[in-house]
Amino acid sequence: MLLDRVPVYFGESALHRLERDVLGQSGVKSVIMIEGINDISAAHASAPFLISGYQEIIERAHARGLRIYGGTLVPFMGSNGKFGGDYGTDYGEQQRLAVNQWIRTSDEFDGVIDFDKAVRDPANPSYMLPAYDSGDHLHPGDLGYDVMAGAIDLDMIL
């Protein structure tokens, strides 16, 4: 969300691509934002750092008359073995939980889509339900993405 990653195929930050990808597009009325796992995991970003980025993006979207909905960050425990860094670590999980708490309770977004709740394993909420996991413990598989899509209240965002 906040940090450009090198090499470039890892991604330009949401802050840097917001104008091109969202604000500069015609016909956009609503934005669903789910960003931050890579900042936490690859760059050791803290929840307060991410929240400042969310606030800037919310402000920029609202300044253009757009509604913006916060998507909670999905569980990613178990992903450290493949991705390293703070992926699936206790630190990463603490930051993810703090970000999700802020998304759910801050009232800064126009609404919340609880992707975390939709795909987490009820018996072990720091992990994605195995049926929804792509196998890397970070990215949902097809069924997980279907469940995430189903968590979006279309009446809320249209």
**pLDDT tens across 95-141, in order?**
999 999 999 999 999 999 999 999 999 999 999 999 999 999 999 99
Return d(Cα 42, Cα 85) in angstroms, integer: 5
Q: What average pLDDT does the segment 82-105 reach? A: 97
What's the CATH code, domain 28-157?
Answer: 3.40.50.1110
Question: Do the beta carbons of residue 131 and residue 102 sit within 8 Å?
Answer: no
Domain locations in the chain as residue ranges = 28-157
Residue 76's identity, in one-letter code, is F
In terms of phi and psi (left: phi > 0; alpha: psi -120 to 50; beta: otherwise), the region of 26 is beta
Give the Cβ contact number of residue 128 at 10 Å.
Answer: 27
